[in-house]
Amino acid sequence: MSVKHAISRGVELGRSVFQLGLLKPAGRLAAKFRGERLRVGQPSRSVQPQTFLPARYRYYRMSLSGLAAQLQSGGFRRLIGGSPRNRVVFLAFGVGLGLIEQQLEDDRKSVAACQQIQALFKKKRFESPLKSFVSGYKLEDYVIGRQIGKGCNAAVYEAAAPFAVPRGEKCSLVELNSNTNSSDPTSPRFACPPSFPLAVKMMWNMGAGSSSEAILNSMSQELVPATPHALRQEKGELSLDGEFGWVPKTVAAHPNVIRVHRAFTADVPLLPGAEEEYPDVLPTRLNPLGMGNNRTLFLVMKNYPYTLRQYLEVSTPGRRTGTLMALQLLEGVDHLCRQGIAHRDLKSDNILMEFDLGGCPRLVITDFGCCLADQSCGLQLPYNSRWVSRGGNACLMAPEVATAKPGPGVTIDYSKADAWAVGTICYEIFGKQNPFYCPQGLEGRSYEERQLPELPANTPADMKLVVRLLLRRNPKKRPSARVAANMLHLSLWGRHALASLDKASLSKLADWLLCQSAYVLLKGRGPSGSSVEAELQRGFLSNLELEDLRTAVGFLLYGRELRFAVTL
């Protein structure tokens, strides 16, 4: 707003103040201010100005009634005398209110634009690329292939429907195909879609009993990413193998979170490699020395070619690709946090990968066995005893979790713990060893921020800033996954809009958001609409919130000011 326009607005506002409140009590004048807001600018029905007013103006807005009362009791009486000094003070007051109302008007327009964009893109829900199954609630409905993964509580095998098994492939419940080595990430199998489109995860049941209800209650966390039809429905109720059980909190579909398409219980079979790799967890009918139960839980998911760790062992992504990979992890974590779920075991082994048609890696978060998905406590876990589980991987446990001490009334806040873990994984993505994994690495409970190693020189500057912020020890100073993701979105696609933006105004950024929305909508009509970048852009636009966007802009501008000061 030009100086001439600001002064004219100030004079107009000053005249309104004089006419409205010269002879009225201070209380009535204050009420007039609150009710009509001086009748300047277009009224907004859904936006409260106090919420979106910048911090430096917030005090004056909140204390407007007090200022009005003081002006009436003192300044207005002196104004009648015609003192030039009082005229200047009154004019300055009007100009100040004009600037505040202009900022409020800009904020109202930005909020309205964000709300419209968010409503538009939220209608386009993500759908899994796998078609809905018509059956598959029994182990006999699948042909099991070779083992493709093993963890501390489960083994994963490739699978397919009987009619979809490739010709010439040998696969059965007891025979392992030896034609290709699935553990070698450089083999041709990792460069093309898997022969078996599905993966079956067999949980190891050591103490849950053999009833379906007991198994479901014990392993319910594994069902957090399940689809609505993952469990068989009988008479409108969910059941496992005919026995009713408790259904846990589930997460909505997202491009960067695994989906469980089927879940069922069955007798433990003798799968390929079982006697050699996990004999102790087999039931006694398969191994006399085994300690497992006869039945366990099976999960059917999409088969991804390899894990993030396997990919990074043979390849180092470039600057832009690495940023897109980190951004996908932040988007997945933000999606979980919005629904009150903390993964608590993020690591490169629990992140699966594939490539889109353009060759860009697509990452999905998997293995929810250690997650926090409690309907009653959300992301605030009561920690009144040391027997309460704090999560999985101790090496990548956020400082606020690692240093928590049990006691009455103690709670652990997991709202930013997974985002901290993403910050550590970014070191692996950009070609360095995870600083919290090294033999003499850092510890989450005691490290200092100055001890964090530098990322490689070819890492984008904004990416370095995001990692530094995510690894702050104090969670109050650490950005949320949403804010960190917004920073990378702006760095990737809003560089030109950000270059001409200051901290006080988002009007130019709102114009860029509208242009970006039109671009994404037009791009989504072609084959490229299913690409990783298109999915990320749609996710960004469907989660637009002014305060998160303003915080992300502030972090980026602050980081660039620091880099500019260092170069001087």
Active site residues: 345
Contacts of 339 (CB under 8 A, 6+ apart): 249, 251, 252
Dihedral sign for Cα atoms in the order 497, 498, 504, 510: positive
Calpha distance 549→162 (Å, rounded) = 49
| CA 377 to each of CA 345, 372, 412, 478: distance values in angstroms, whole numbers, following the listed order | 19, 9, 10, 22
- 3-state per-residue secondary structure call for 333-388: HHHHHHCCCECCCCCHHHEEEEECCCCCEEEEECCCCCCECECCCECEEECCCCCC
Calpha distance 404→412 (Å, rounded) = 7
Are 337 and 418 a contacting pair, CB within 8 Å?
A: yes
Are 326 and 426 a contacting pair, CB within 8 Å?
A: yes
Dihedral sign for Cα atoms in the order 133, 134, 135, 141: negative
- Two tokens, residue 464: 């370095």
Q: Parallel, antiparallel, or unpaired: how do β-strands 198-203 and 154-160 relate?
A: antiparallel
CB atoms within 10 A of CB 45: 4
Are 467 and 491 a contacting pair, CB within 8 Å?
A: no
Calpha distance 248→369 (Å, rounded) = 12
- Tell me the residue type at 484: A
Q: Compute the radius of gyration of the chain from its Cα atoms.
A: 29
The CA-based angle 337-392-215, given to 5 degrees, is 90
- Two tokens, residue 252: 């909505």
Q: Report residue 159: phi and psi, to 5°.
A: -150, 165
Calpha distance 345→385 (Å, rounded) = 21
Alpha helix ranges (H) inside 371-506: 399-402, 417-429, 461-470, 481-493, 495-499
Q: Nearest Cα to 559, choosing from 498, 474, 493, 481?
A: 498
Calpha distance 87→85 (Å, rounded) = 5
